Amino acid sequence: MPEYRIIDADCHVVEPPHIWNRWLAKEFLDRAPKLVKDEEGGDAWAFGEGKPIMKIGLVATPGMRFEDIKWAGYTYDTVRKGCWDGNARLEDMDLDGVDAEFIYPSQRTMHHFMGNQDVEFHRAGVRAYNDYMAQEFCAADTGRLFFLAQMPNLGVDEAIAEMKRCREMGARGVIISTWPSGNDDLSEADDRFFAEAQEMGMPVSIHISIQRRRNTGPVKIEGPAAIGTMALAGMLNFPPIMCELIVSGLFDRFPKLRIVGVETEIGWIPEVLEQVDNFYWRNRTHTGIQIKRLPSEYFHQNFLCTFISDRHGILNRHAIGVANMAWSSDYPHHGCDWPYSRKVIRENLEGVPARERYDILAGNVVRLYGLEQTLEIPG
């Protein structure tokens, strides 16, 4: 049984070249993403005429100098195999000192299927990814590699069915990219899904944002806006979603439900909680919003947020809640520090007591996902 000292609470895979031929139902292969070459001879996924290609550069960067990071020009032969191969990932984890990983999909590929109006195609693409993770990637070591199952956007019944199917294949939690009902806004129409997640003990992850039909334009990630878009994505997009979940009364109905804010960073949390408590208290009557406790109390009970490098967050960890945070590397994306994660952890957690350090690096995730731990836990 593994001893978990460092758990990566948020990392990713890059889809392997064979994923659709091996895992997608054959009748849909003609519409599957196709490998093409970008303008510099690198590999990219094409999604059909008139749609931008998905270059692999910035999502496959482990070991690169910062000066070499770019979108175009990288191929599956020139990036690390650990980006998509489970056995190679274990080798990279060993080099980085990581004992286990919780792994999320490439949302760009998932959007190709989930944005399609063909229900069968949508369902088949989501299932293909989840099957690849369960039966290929994580099968390399099911005690160290854990996948978060992608939920389809086909209504509550379909989401519940896929959650149950993936739980049987070993998924420890799920990721939603839309509200389960498919509505733009959270409502009681989503309750049956959250009730089932609570009953099954499946934490529900939201990776930065929720897709809504009213916000359909592409996110600008080139030019002068690129740095701000990438640097601030989590702390700008997730707080309103967190507030929507809290003030909806969801946690009064499902008090044991756990939400994971993924790649959000954490330094913003104390200020946001202070302001939301203040404005809820002032405006609860005329808005008709009545929840049993202050919003900040629900955060401390029901949320865990991941960070990559956040020294201000660690300095303010008691205001955030040590139990409400978890370290992550974002491997293999351009935010990762592989193979120097231990160096970054040491710099971020300097002076943090041993028990708090353990909880941030492993303990909170062990408890969240119900892992069995043999390590002697610091007092």
SS (HEC) of the chain: CCCCCCEEEEEECCCCCCHHHHHCCHHHHHHCCEEEECCCCCEEEECCCCCCCEECHHHCCCCCCHHHCCCCCCCCCCCCHHHCCHHHHHHHHHHHCCCEEEEECCHHHHHHHHCCCCHHHHHHHHHHHHHHHHHHHHHHCCCCEEEEEECCCCCHHHHHHHHHHHHHCCCCEEECCCCCCCCCCCCHHHHHHHHHHHHHCCCEEEECCCCCCCCCCCCCCCHHHHHHHHHHHHHHHHHHHHHHHHHCCHHHHCCCCCEEEECCCCCCHHHHHHHHHHHHHHHHHHHCCCCCCCHHHHHHHHEEEEECCCHHHHHCHHHHCHHHEEECCCCCCCCCCCCCHHHHHHHHCCCCCHHHHHHHHHHHHHHHHCCCCCCCCCC
Mean pLDDT of 138-157: 97
Query: Can you give the pLDDT at residue 376?
Result: 86
Mean pLDDT of 356-370: 98
Q: In this predicted structure, which of 94-103, 124-133, 208-217 has the lowest mean pLDDT?
A: 208-217
Query: Can you give the pLDDT at residue 162?
Result: 98
Band of pLDDT at residue 88, cut at 50, 70 and 90: very high
Query: Can you give the pLDDT at residue 219?
Result: 58
217 has a pLDDT exceeding 60: no
Mean pLDDT of 37-43: 97
Q: In this predicted structure, which of 209-218, 339-348, 353-362 has the lowest mean pLDDT?
A: 209-218
Query: Can you give the pLDDT at residue 216?
Result: 58
Instruction: Kindly list the structural domains of the chain, giving each domain's residue range(s) and its CATH number in brackets, ordered by start.
Output: 7-28+80-369 (3.20.20.140)
Query: Can you give the pLDDT at residue 226?
Result: 85
Mean pLDDT of 86-100: 98
Query: Can you give the pLDDT at residue 374?
Result: 85
List pLDDT tens digits, range 159-189.
Answer: 999 999 999 999 999 999 999 999 999 999 9
Q: What is the overall mean pLDDT for the chain?
A: 95
Percent of the chain with pLDDT over 70: 98
Query: Can you give the pLDDT at residue 215?
Result: 66
pTM of the model: 0.96
